[in-house]
Amino acid sequence: MDLPVNSDYVIGPGDGLEIDLWGGVSQRLFRVVDREGRVSLPEAGPLLVSGRSLGDAQQAVQQLCERNTATFQQMCPFRN
């Protein structure tokens, strides 16, 4: 069951994230935080998100994507 959370939610291993990217190619990514607390983004590599609030993780994803030419649009977490 997917449950909505707010920007104060602290992400942990096993949490799922839906990440929308747009730019040259638009894509919606579904990623699960691994045991080490990371998610992997195409052409950007792994990003540590465990222990961060959703708001902080969104900023980190945006910065990583901007450095790697994709444009971050939004990130929606879901907890199984």
CA gap 60, 4 in Å, rounded:
20
| Full DSSP string of 57-80 | HHHHHHHHHHHTT-EEEEEEEEB-
**7 phi-psi bin (left φ>0, alpha ψ -120 to 50, beta other):** alpha
pLDDT of the chain along its 80 residues, tens only?
Answer: 566 778 899 999 999 988 887 766 678 889 999 999 999 987 778 999 999 999 999 888 888 877 765 455 555 555 54
Helical (H) or strand (E) element with 18: strand 16-22
